[in-house]
Amino acid sequence: MNKKQIPQKITLLRKLIKKNGLDGFLITDNLDQFYLGGFYFYPHEAVFLVTSKDIFCWTRELYLTDVAVRAPFMTAFADEDRLNTAVKQARKCGLKKVGFDAAKEGYAAGCLLAKNGFVECPSLISQLREVKDESEVKIIRDACRIAYNAYEYVKPLIKTGMTELDVAAELEKYMRTHGATTTSFYTIVGFGEDCANPHHVTGSRKLKAEDCILMDFGCVYKGYCSDITRSWWHGKKEPAEYKKIWQLVDKARKAGIKAVKPGMATREVDNTARNIIKAGGYGAYFTHGTGHGMGMENHEAPYNNQESDAILTQGNIVTVEPGIYLPGKYGVRLEDTVAVSKTGAKILTKK
Amino acid sequence: MSVKDLSKERVKDFKRLLKQAGLEAYFTAAPVEMRYLSGVELSEGEAVLLVTPRKACFFTRTMIVPKMAPATGFISVKDVTSGTLAQAALQFVRQAGLKTVGFAQDKVNFLLGRQLAQEGFVSAGAILDEMRLVKYPDEIAKLKTACRIASEAFKEVKPQIKTGMTEHAVAALLAGAMLRRGAEAIPFNIVCFGENTADAHHTASKTRKLKKNEAVLMDFGCQYEGYNSDMTRSWWHGDNPPAQYEQIWNITHAAYQACAKSLRAGLPCREADAAARRIIEAAGFGKEFFHSTGHGVGLQVHDGPLLGPRSVQELEANSPVTVEPGIYFAGKWGVRLEDTFLVTAGGSKKLTKN
């Protein structure tokens, strides 16, 4: 293989640059940089400039050797005044219309760029990131498998008297020993009334003999996230109401997943799940959207909610996670991460 | 074991700072700033905070309102049901007739910044960044715990590191040991063997196994109640370290000690950097030490101040910083030694002890 082969993602970006009437694009967001170059910088450590001919990278000296090995298609320089250097380079290349991401660029930096003739643009790379290629779907499937297997592993270990933190530690330990580099967000483990708070912070509450459990967690694997939620009753005396809302949420989850397919409006996915919960009489207790897109970030476009105008396309990865929360009592949320394939949703959070 | 949060004090002190700076209000949407002032952990886009010399108010969504509980009593909450959060804050500013509203230009994105500038908001400089440099007692307690967790976990894991283990297996062991001790997150966990120790930001490999005689480098830390620790250990695995490795280790260690010893309130940060750099340069390895000597730690792993050759800040008492000189030979091995210190009036205190 030619070492200097240009990655497909850069080729797609170049097409998008052209389509937007630009002759270059500046990238300062570190996740966007990871997406394009496969190299993880911390924030503010690098600036990329992609033109029809070149891919420039200005970064800290300590990365140069590594960038040369892992991203040989970039021309990398050590530079501590990266933004100004990029401006100068654009001029030197005779570029007339270089875009920058107005939603991700800082205000001070954006002003400097705008003053130097760069033009503000929508998040071109976010647009690319919404549609995952095969290798990305495969990684996310692995990330989801690790999370699902952690659930299967941990569930039988959960005993009365354990704290929420104890359970979270077991989940995270399993995910890390199976390849996760970190969690995709703070692991949520809730018992009893804590399950009724969708933003519960895992604490030292102990599990009672008869209690409900909610676990919402995920991991990062090779830079990509997974997200899964499971809820169930711990004990033998499951209250009738708990059973009822569990089944309602499960029905909403299944219908929501079934609604996911190319061409479907994300708002409709939300409607499908929401209408089932509304019809069951718990509409007021489903206080959030049905799901969100996922990739290198745990929450990214497209969103399965009422505010979104997105239409699903093949390659999107979204969660479906309806819930019902009865304050002070208990709550149920059931969530799977799914890939939008040609034929419909493929559940990724499974064995 | 949770530490009593002093956010309320911080808001009070920040209001005084605003008054001194002649600002009628301060606007922020940055999670790190909101966490600092409220004790509430928020994600990007979940809230906007407006502080005036008299009051503080969150603008947020219905679903986020319950999260604001830790700030009850000193920050009010407005539930915004239509329009953006920034629009709601702007409307509040207009209605209250506030004239000079400041914001940090590097903490908002270009779109939002332009909207604020059009509204007449002004640059507040680094008013909050500077305030965040010197830590309150609750922050120091959290930092100390984060540092203790990291050092104790390392002490537990080091004897378990055996020939044949992968970098990833060691990273997992260490992560488990930190989590069990109460860490809530592990923002970075670098484990390198052999030639990988020369790569300053290596990702632990699932296939690279530890050989009988080679260099090991671990750079790690954890987050406890929002605050981070940072430490690095380098050593030779096996009985026969090459003479050059020992030489380099000793030079790095001398540099580390010189910098650590130099730390005190009032010292220019570039002097702290020079204390370490001077020694490595004198030994002829200046080129192989291609990063700064250290950085502040706090709510962010890399916080202010920077301890580098071009730094313009001075060290302040009760400000935590790392000291981490290193020497690297690409393709061969590298050494970095790092601890987190708390700067005091007359010196410093090491927080990552083992």
Look at domain B137-350 and name its CATH class: alpha beta
> A40-44, B171-175, B237-241 — which is least confidently predicted?
A40-44
Are B290 and A62 within 8 A, CB to CB? Answer: yes
d(CA A199, CA A194): 9
The answer to whether residue A3 sits within a structural domain is no
The answer to whether residue A2 sits within a structural domain is no
Regarding whether A96 and A153 lie in a shared domain, the answer is: no
- Which letter, b or e, does each residue of A269-288 get, where b requires 16 or more Cβ atoms within 10 Å of its Cβ? bbbbbbebbeebebeebbeb
Domain boundary among A77, A102, A128: A128
| Bridge partners for A183 per DSSP | A219
Regarding whether A225 and A199 lie in a shared domain, the answer is: yes
d(CA B323, CA B299): 18
CB neighbour list of residue B59: distance below 8 Å, 6 or more residues apart: B47, B48, B49, B50, B78, B80, B85, B88, B89, B92
Regarding whether A254 and A320 lie in a shared domain, the answer is: yes
We report the CATH number of the domain holding residue A321 as 3.90.230.10
Locate B185 and state its tokens: 């997150």
* Burial group, residue A53, by CB count within 10 angstroms (0-12, 13-18, 19+): exposed
Regarding whether A145 and A123 lie in a shared domain, the answer is: no
Give ranges for CATH 3.40.350.10 in chain B: 7-133
Chain A contact for B283, CB < 8 A? Answer: no
The answer to whether residue A88 sits within a structural domain is yes
Regarding whether A96 and A161 lie in a shared domain, the answer is: no
Are A179 and B64 within 8 A, CB to CB? Answer: no
Here the contacts of B53-59 (C-beta below 8 Å, separation 24 or greater) are B53/B15, B53/B16, B53/B18, B53/B19, B53/B24, B54/B15, B56/B11, B56/B15, B57/B92, B58/B34, B59/B85, B59/B88, B59/B89, B59/B92
CATH code for B7-133?
3.40.350.10
- Which letter, b or e, does each residue of A203-218 get, where b requires 16 or more Cβ atoms within 10 Å of its Cβ? eebebeeebbbbbbbb
The pairing of beta strand B319-323 with beta strand A291-293: unpaired
Chain A contact for B62, CB < 8 A? Answer: yes
Regarding whether A325 and A239 lie in a shared domain, the answer is: yes
d(CA A61, CA B288): 10
Contact (Cβ atoms closer than 8 angstroms) between residue A211 and residue A246: no
Domain count, chain A: 2
| pLDDT over 90 (residue B278) | yes
pLDDT at A219: 97
Q: What angle do CA A22, A28, A32 make, to 5 degrees?
A: 85
In angstroms, how far is CA B352 from the centroid of its own chain?
14
* B67: nearest CB among A177, A183, A199: A199
Regarding whether A150 and A20 lie in a shared domain, the answer is: no
Domain boundary among A81, A103, A128: A128
d(CA B228, CA B217): 20
How close does chain A come to B167, measured CA to CA in Å? 11
Regarding whether A281 and A219 lie in a shared domain, the answer is: yes
Regarding whether A85 and A135 lie in a shared domain, the answer is: no
* B186: nearest CB among A60, A66, A182: A182
ipTM of model = 0.73
Are B185 and A186 within 8 A, CB to CB? Answer: yes
The answer to whether residue A250 sits within a structural domain is yes
d(CA B192, CA B197): 5
Number of neighbouring beta carbons within 10 Å of residue B133: 21
Closest A-chain CA to B42? A199
Chain B residues inside the 8 Å CB shell of A184: none
Regarding whether A124 and A135 lie in a shared domain, the answer is: no
| pLDDT over 90 (residue B264) | yes
Residue A72 Ramachandran class (φ > 0 left, ψ -120 to 50 alpha, else beta)? alpha
Regarding whether A238 and A141 lie in a shared domain, the answer is: yes
Are A106 and B109 within 8 A, CB to CB? Answer: yes
Are A66 and B201 within 8 A, CB to CB? Answer: yes
We report the CATH number of the domain holding residue A77 as 3.40.350.10
Tell me the residue range of the domain where A33 lies: 8-128
Are A182 and B62 within 8 A, CB to CB? Answer: no
The answer to whether residue A330 sits within a structural domain is yes
pLDDT at A1: 39
Regarding whether A102 and A16 lie in a shared domain, the answer is: yes
d(CA B49, CA B152): 37
Are A102 and B110 within 8 A, CB to CB? Answer: yes
> A197-201, A265-269, B152-156, B338-342 — which is least confidently predicted?
A197-201
Best of A28, A107, A139 to substitute, by most chain B Cβ atoms within 10 angstroms, is A107
Locate A32 and state its tokens: 């966007």
Mean of all residue pLDDT scores within chain B: 95
CB neighbour list of residue B138: distance below 8 Å, 6 or more residues apart: B3, B4, B5, B6
Give the model's confidence band at B354: pLDDT under 50 very low, under 70 low, under 90 confident, else very high.
low
Strand order in A291-293's β-sheet? A300-304, A291-293, A317-320, A336-341, A344-347
Chain B residues inside the 8 Å CB shell of A61: 290-291
How close does chain A come to B104, measured CA to CA in Å? 9
Chain A contact for B40, CB < 8 A? Answer: no
pLDDT at A198: 83
How close does chain B come to A218, measured CA to CA in Å? 13
CB neighbour list of residue A1: distance below 8 Å, 6 or more residues apart: none
Give ranges for CATH 3.90.230.10 in chain B: 137-350
Best of B201, B224, B300 to substitute, by most chain A Cβ atoms within 10 angstroms, is B201
Best of A170, A176, A287, A321 to substitute, by most chain B Cβ atoms within 10 angstroms, is A176
Rg, chain B, Cα only: 23
Tens-digit pLDDT string for chain A (351 aa): 345 688 999 999 999 999 999 999 999 999 999 999 988 898 899 999 999 999 999 999 888 888 998 899 999 999 989 999 999 999 999 999 999 999 999 999 999 999 999 999 999 999 999 999 999 999 999 999 999 999 999 999 999 999 999 999 999 999 998 999 889 998 999 999 999 998 888 989 999 999 999 999 999 999 999 999 999 999 999 999 999 999 999 999 999 999 999 999 999 999 999 999 999 999 999 999 999 999 999 999 999 999 899 999 999 999 999 999 999 999 999 999 999 999 999 999 999
Domain boundary among A128, A147, A178: A128
Chain A contacts to B (CB-CB under 8 A): 40, 42, 60-63, 65-66, 80, 100, 102-111, 114, 120, 165, 169, 172-173, 176-177, 179, 181-183, 186, 197-199, 201, 287-288, 299
d(CA A145, CA A123): 30
* A177: nearest CB among B63, B106, B172: B172
3-state secondary structure chain B: CCCCCCHHHHHHHHHHHHHHCCCCEEEECCHHHHHHHHCCCCCCCCEEEEECCCCEEEEECHHHHHHHHHHCCCCEEEECCCCCHHHHHHHHHHHHCCCCEEECCCCCEHHHHHHHHHCCCEECCCHHHHHHHCCCHHHHHHHHHHHHHHHHHHHHHHHHCCCCCEHHHHHHHHHHHHHHCCCCECCCEEEEEHHHHHCCCCCCCCCCECCCCEEEEEEECCEECCEECCEEEEEEECCCCCHHHHHHHHHHHHHHHHHHHHCCCCCEHHHHHHHHHHHHHHCCCHHHCCCCCEEECCCCCCEEEEECCCCCCECCCCEEEEECCEEEECCCEEEECEEEEEECCCCEEECCCC
Are B179 and A169 within 8 A, CB to CB? Answer: yes
In what helix (H) or strand (E) does residue A245 lie, and over which residues does it extend? helix A240-259
Query: In chain B, what percentage of residues exceed pLDDT 90?
Result: 89
